[in-house]
């Protein structure tokens, strides 16, 4: 009888630990194993509040762009942790500057990366192909090892793939290489927020994460046109 009780207790304990681990990994990053075998289980590294805020930013910018340009331009905003990427087409350099200034004034926007193109509106056939490329890149990131795909936002414009998210420098470089290997990709632009690995580790007991701050400084690689805080990775 004592052995039966002991076996049931062990099974219950294991089930409780697994359930607790699943809950934590869905909310953030869980530390697995000891000091020599730690692994990061990555989810979306934004808080729930940041995700809601990003959606609100995109909606507000979209409404403002429609008010300013109606059907004379095509401007898309993608916000990650209040860092906004602008892509699309406008008729002039003045329109491009106006769009950036308007986006920067939207509540809670911390930074704008302006990659809007000056020229005719991109044909639907090209945009459809961009959607297909985005799907392929997302799939490749999910299949890749050591790449936190769930926290990376992928956007494609005329074959140029933009990657946004909170990643370590190593993760960002790996993600860019994976994206660059996908057929149809002309260029990869990293618009990441670089964080330290320590800042992503959450203690499963206390729930506290490391104290290392997020880096918002420009990356050391050559900067892309229009923003000092992006890095272009040409496709060979």
In whole angstroms, give the CA distance from residue 176 to residue 147. Answer: 10
How high is the pLDDT of residue 184?
Answer: 98
pLDDT at 7: 52
Record the pTM. 0.74
Q: Copy the structure tokens of residue 34.
A: 């000891």
72-81, 90-99, 202-211: segment of lowest average pLDDT: 202-211
Mark 105-144 as b/e (b = at least 16 C-beta within 10 Å).
ebeebebbbbbbbeeebbeeeeeeebeebbebbbebbeeb
pLDDT in tens, 55-70: 999 999 999 999 999 9
Domain layout of the chain by residue ranges:
46-121, 123-236
pLDDT of residue 229: 53
CATH class assigned to 46-121: alpha beta
| Stretch among 39-53, 97-111, 130-144 having the lowest mean pLDDT | 39-53
């Amino acid at each position: 009888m004592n052995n039966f009780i002991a076996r049931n207790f062990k099974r219950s304990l294991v089930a409780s630990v697994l359930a607790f681990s699943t809950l934590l990994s869905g909310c953030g990053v869980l530390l697995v194993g000891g000091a020599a075998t730690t692994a990061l289980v990555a989810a979306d590294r934004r808080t729930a509040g940041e995700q809601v805020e990003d959606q609100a930013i995109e909606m507000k910018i979209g409404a403002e762009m429609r008010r300013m340009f109606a059907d004379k331009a095509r401007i898309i905003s993608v916000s990650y942790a209040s860092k906004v990427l602008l892509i699309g087409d406008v008729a002039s350099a003045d329109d491009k500057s106006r769009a950036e200034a308007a986006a920067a004034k939207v509540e809670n926007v911390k930074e704008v990366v302006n990659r809007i193109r000056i020229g005719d509106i991109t044909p639907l056939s090209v945009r459809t192909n961009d959607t297909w490329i985005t799907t392929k890149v997302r799939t490749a990131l999910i299949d890749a090892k050591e790449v936190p795909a769930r926290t990376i936002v992928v956007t494609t414009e005329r074959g140029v793939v933009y990657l946004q998210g909170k990643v370590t420098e190593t993760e960002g470089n790996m993600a860019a290489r994976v994206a660059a290997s996908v057929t149809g990709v002309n260029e990869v632009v990293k618009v990441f927020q670089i964080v330290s690995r320590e800042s992503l580790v959450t203690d499963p007991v206390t729930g506290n994460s490391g104290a290392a701050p997020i880096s918002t400084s420009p990356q050391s690689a050559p900067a892309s046109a229009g923003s000092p805080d992006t890095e272009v990775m040409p496709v060979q």
